[in-house]
Structure 1
Amino acid sequence: MRRAMLLAGILGTLLPGPAQADTDVHYQGLRIPVPAGWEVHHLGPRSTECLRFDRRALYLGPAGEHQLCPAHAVGRTTAIHVEPLTAQTNALVTGLLAGRAETGHPPGLWVRDPAAHEIRIAVPQAGAFITGSYGPSAQDLERVLTHITVDPPPAEGSAERHSGVAHRRSWVRGDGFDTCHAPSLDAMQAWRKHFVAANVYIGGVSRACPDGRLSHDWIAAVRAMGWRLIPTYVGPQAPCGPHRVNFTPDSALDDARAAAKDAVGRARLLGLRRHTPIYYDMEAYHRHDPVCRHAVLDFVDAWTRRVRALGYVPGYYSSVTSGIRDLADAKGIKKPTALWFAHWDKKPDPWEDRYVPRGWWPGHRRIKQYRGDHRETHGGYTLNIDNDAVDGYVR
C-alpha cells in the first residue's frame, strides 16, 4: 500500500479526534461501551490493582483491601468504576432517592459531585453502582455513561453472559494501523493502548512480506487482547499498474475467482470464520486507460461475487484517485460491501473526504488510510506503519 497515494498527494495536517471502540463489556447486568485506548481492569477482594482515576480505564468489581498504589498520583481524567450494590453503596442510593438524584438519564439515578469531579449512578434494577471521574470537562464521561444500558434478562434455559464477556459488533470505530508484517505479541500488547484495529496481510501473489509470525495462534492472541483485525489479500494487480504480477483483460475474471478462493482458504486456516471481511488490495493504477479500467472493474465484480458466495464479506482497498473513483462510478457490477480508501491528506475522518462523498458506502462501512509510510513508537516498540481512521467492517 506504500504507493497507493502517489497520485493523490500528501496534503493537510494531522487532526487527531476521539476514538470509539466497538467492544461492549458485560458486567453486573450492564452493557458498558469501552472507548478505544482504555484499559479494562477486573478487581476483587484479593486484587492488588490500584483503582486510579488519573488514567483512562474501566474498573470492574469492588476494589481490593490491599491495593498497590503509587506514592504520588496526581490529577483526574475520564475513568469509570462499576461495582455491585453493597450496604455501603445502598446507603448512597438512599441519599440519591432522598432528593439529590437526577432522573431521566440512562442507565439509572445520577448524582453529580462537581467538587470531586465525579458522577455517581445507582442502577437498582441491575444491582450495580457506577462512579465516573472526569478532568476539566464532564462531556466525555457523560457520553460514555449515557450509552451504558441494562441487559435484558436471559431467555429461560440460556446461559447468562456477564462479568467481562465481550459482545463484538461487525464494525469498529477508532484508530487503526497497517504494517507489512505481523508484529510481535509484545508490540501488539503495547500498541493496544493507542489503537483499536490493525491490518493483517493474509496472502496473495503480490504480498511483500511472508507470513512470519502470522498464524492461527497469533490471530487468537491479538483478538484476546481486544484487537479488531482488517484481513487483506494482495493478489495480482491492474494491467496498467507499476507492479510485477498483473492480471490481464482476458484473465481478470478467472484470476479474481482464484484469488477469492485462496483468500477465503487462508482466512479459514487462520481461524477467521464466515462473515469475516476480506479486503482486496488494488494498488494505484492509471485510470485513464479504458481497457485497464474495465479489466479492474471486471476483476472487482468477480472478486465480490465469489467472496460473498463463499460466506465471507467482500472488501476493497485502493486509492481515491484510481480504484475508488472507478468503482464508485461503475454501473452494472457487484460492488464490495466494505470500502478502505487511501488518501494521505493526514485528516483522520472517513466521512469528510473530498474524494469520497458521504453517500458512498454509508453506515459503518468505511476505513480511511490518511497517513502513509512512517515510524511510530508506543510502549517502547517501533513499527513502520500507515495510519487508518476506521468506521468500518473488521473481524
Structure 2
Amino acid sequence: MAKILILANNDVGLFKFRKELIEELVKENEVFISLPFGDYIPKLQELGCKFINTPVSRKGTNPITDLKLLLNYRKIIKNTRPDVVLTYTIKPNVYGGIACKMNSVPFLANITGLGTAVENGGILQKITLLMYKISLKKANCVFFQNKENQQFLKDKLAIKNHRLLPGSGVNLLHFSFMEYPPPDVIRFLFIARVMKEKGIDQYLDAAEYIKRKYPDTEFHILGALEGSYEIKLKEMQAKGIIQYHGLQSDVRKFHKFSHCTVHPTYYPEGMSNVLLESSSCGRPVITTNRSGCREIVNEGVNGYFVEQENSQDLIKKIEAFLRLNHEKKIQMGLAGRKKVEEEFDRQIVVDAYINKINSIIQKTNLT
C-alpha cells in the first residue's frame, strides 16, 4: 500500500473538486491530507483520508508565517514518508514543492491559477516566479488548467514536465442536465465570492438597469461576502433589485430555476468551476473573455462574452440574451452541456492523476 500526501489550502475546494480523485486513491493507498480544519474535513475523513491540521494563510505574505509553513511541510513529509505528494494552489505548490525537493520526494503540482501577485506584475510577481522556479524545478509533473497559464510559466521558468488538464473537470452525474425552466420570469445567477475581482460591481450595475427596464427578471447572488458589500446588498435587496442567498453548500437547487449564469470575473483563476457546473446543468452563461472562462464558451452558441470590468457591455449582453426566444435559450443550454461532456468530464482529470501516480510508484518499486 503506497502513501499519498495531499497539500491544499482549504477543505471546500479539496472536497468539491478532488473528491472523485480521492475516492479512487483511497481504494489502494493510504491517503493523508494536510490543510486547515474546516466544515468539510469530516466528509474527507469519511472518504478514508487521514487529516493533518495545517494552518495556511491563503492571502498573507508574511515571510515568518511562510517559513513556518515550509518547516511544517518538511516535518509532515518526514513523519508520513509519502511515496507521492500532490499539491494544489500557490502556497502548497511553492512551499510543499520546496519541502519535497529537500526530502527527495516525488510530487505533482497543480496550477489552479496564477493569482493576483503574478497577474499584477511588479516586485511581488518577481518574488512569486522565483519561488515557483525553485519549487517546480523537481516536480514530476506540473498540471495546468489553461493554456495561457501553461505558456506563461513555460516561458518564464522553462518547466519541462507539464500537462494541460480541463481545469478540475466537472462531475457530469452530480451536475446532471436539468429541464429548462418556463419563461414567465427570467432568472440570472451570480455564483462566486462576493468580491470586486469576481465582477460583483458589474453584476449589480446590470441588475439595477435591467430590473428597471425588464420587470419580469430576477437577479440572484450566491456566495460568501469578501469586502464591504454587505450594506449595498441589503439596500438593493430591500428595493427588490437582487436576492442574496449567502454561501450555499449545494447550488443545484438554484440552477433548477435559473435561466442563465452571469460570471463577469476578472480574478486570475485556472478554470472556472462555476461555468463548468452551470453548463453541465444545461444553463447558458455570460462571462468575461479571459483565460479560464473563454475555454468553456463558444460565443453565441452556449453563451456570450463581455469585456472585463465593463458594466455597459454586460448590460448589452444580458439584453441580447433576453431578446432570444425560449427555444433558442434551451438550445444554448444544450450546447453547453454537450461541450462539457466532450471536453470537461472530471474523469479525464482523475485518469491523468492515477496514471502519473502509478508511474511514479512503479518506478520507485523498481529502484
Give TM-score scaled by structure 2 length: 0.28
Give TM-score scaled by structure 1 length: 0.26
Query: 1 or 2 for the larger relative contact order (CA 8 Å, sep ≥6)?
Result: 1
* Higher-strand-fraction structure: 1
* Higher-helix-fraction structure: 2
Find the structure with the greater CA-based Rg. 1
